[in-house]
Amino acid sequence: MNAPARRSGGTPRASLSQLRDQLHVVVPALTVGEGHPQMGRLLAQLRTTAAGMAELLAAAEPAAQAAIGAGLEHAAAGEYNESRTEFLTAYRRLSILLHDHPDRRPSAVGESTQRWRPLR
């Protein structure tokens, strides 16, 4: 089991969800606050979470692990557009992994995803 899961008492699925949630926060923050002083803290937290989950990510979704690593490198170099692209790739890969997880109830396999639509 990975370090974040041990600390939180959670499962590997919960740890992957936590990482996906962090990516969900970092991408828009990079979009609107590239030079903001808090960006360094957000990126450091993401780096720590990803490092603590290295074994889990390598086994479960190596493409997401590679994208996060590349995104952090781009962010360190000030290449925020490239960083956002990599983080979005990782977010998408983790979302697909979590969506198709075997813990998902079997009857939900054929259901379409409900999306918000404006009233007409």
- Give the pLDDT confidence of 82-108 residue by residue, as tens digits: 999 999 999 999 988 887 555 555 555
- On average, the pLDDT of the chain sits at 80
Instruction: Evaluate whether residue 107 is within a structural domain.
Output: no
Instruction: Evaluate whether residue 61 is within a structural domain.
Output: yes
Domain that holds residue 74: 3-102
Q: What is the C-alpha to C-alpha distance for residues 3 and 59, in angstroms, rounded to an integer?
A: 15
Q: What is the C-alpha to C-alpha distance for residues 117 and 94, in angstroms, rounded to an integer?
A: 25
Instruction: Evaluate whether residue 36 is within a structural domain.
Output: yes
Q: Could you read off the pLDDT of 25-45 as tens digits, one per residue?
A: 999 998 887 777 788 899 999
Look at the chain and report how many structural domains it folds into: 1
- Predicted TM-score (pTM) of the model is 0.73
Instruction: Evaluate whether residue 39 is within a structural domain.
Output: yes
User: CATH number, domain at 46?
Assistant: 1.20.120
Identity of residue 23 = L
Instruction: Evaluate whether residue 117 is within a structural domain.
Output: no
